Amino acid sequence: MTQGILIYAHNSRSVDYALMAAISGGLAKKHLNVPATLVTDKFTVDWMKASQIYEMANEIFENIIVVEKPQTNNNRKLYDGTDNAVVPFINSNRSSAWELTPYERTLLIDSDFLIFSDRLSEYWKVDSDLLISESINDIYDNSRLRYHDRYISDVGIKLYWATTVMFTKNTKTKIFFDLVTFIRDNYQYYADTYRFDSKQFRNDIAFSIAKHILNGFEQNNAEDLPPILTLLDRDILYSVDKKLTVLISPMLDSNFCAASIVDTDIHIMNKQSIIRNKDALMELI
């Protein structure tokens, strides 16, 4: 069975997702020892060429699949430590992963998920067609997480995190991804039924609902991908050498404490701090 990593990157005015995907793809390929594929769009490719990362991306990714850039009205507030900006969020085509992946078993990851271990390798052979991360773990303490980091709404279902998804390409998972597409296309209906805020389309929510429905509207306690160690966007990736030095804001304010991360996969929500450390991260690939 062929195995590989799939990453989506559609640049916005403010965030260079292509660069992050190159870093994320390079690290994943190195530590999991499987090939990687990038899904992107013409405008992002043009930017990659202009910013001279296209060649490097071609080395990292065995395929660069160019698709139509999704139209979006999606915006979200992204923090960079104490600063923040409202930026476009182009994420609505993730459900095409089943069609686009060249692999029989795929690890779909967000471009801000950096892999520094082979922990996820354990899951290639798990006898489950679809695995999604069941939760996130805040690097500082889960007390900083909000209720809606655990549930899609106040009374709704458990939130799974589509930051890491592993699936086998078969008819069962096709139904799953088709259902994710259907939920995306009827998002307001599902927002009414599952009582969540429809203002921003979130893959995490669409994936969670699809999983819930296909499990007979029940909680599935079967094995899933492990919780995702997460550095919130109020925290900062400060420097990178053999270890990552991060600044954590325990109270989500302007006071920080320092910590180190070694050989551990991490979801870095502060995207600008990944970009700032691009050279050092590239050194690790």
Partner 1 sequence: MKFGYLLIVAEHDSIDYLNLAYALAISIKNTQKPGYDQVALVVDNKEKLNSLKSSWVFDHVIEWKEEIFWDGRSWMDQLSPFDATVCLDVDMLFMRDYSHWVDYFLENCDLYVANKSYTYRGELIYDAYYRKSFIKNHLPNLYSFYTFFKKNSNLVNEFFDLGRHIIKNPIEFTNTFLTEHKPKILGTDEAFALSAKILDITDQIAYPLEFPRVVHMKPMIQNWPWPADCWSDHIGFYLNKKGQLKLGNYQQQDIVHYVEKDKISTEMINILEEIVWKK
Residues forming contacts to partner 1 in the complex (CB under 8 A) are 147, 154-158, 193-194, 212, 216-219, 221
**Which residue lies nearer to partner 1 by CB, 18 or 206?**
206
**Which residue lies nearer to partner 1 by CB, 103 or 196?**
196
Residue 275, token pair as written in the block: 């970009």
Shortest Å distance, C-beta 158 to partner 1: 7
**Which residue lies nearer to partner 1 by CB, 30 or 158?**
158
Contacts of 80 (CB under 8 A, 6+ apart): 233, 236, 270, 271, 272, 273
Q: Give just the sign of the alpha carbon dihedral 209, 210, 216, 218.
A: negative
**Which residue lies nearer to partner 1 by CB, 127 or 218?**
218
d(CA 265, CA 249): 20
Shortest Å distance, C-beta 152 to partner 1: 9
Shortest Å distance, C-beta 98 to partner 1: 24
Shortest Å distance, C-beta 145 to partner 1: 12
**Which residue lies nearer to partner 1 by CB, 216 or 262?**
216
Residue 236, token pair as written in the block: 């900062």
**DSSP characters over 179-202:** HHHHHHHTHHHHHHHHT---SS--
Task: Supply the DSSP symbol for 61.
Answer: -
Comparing CA positions, the residue from 35, 43, 34 lying closest to residue 10 is: 43
d(CA 230, CA 222): 23
Shortest Å distance, C-beta 228 to partner 1: 21
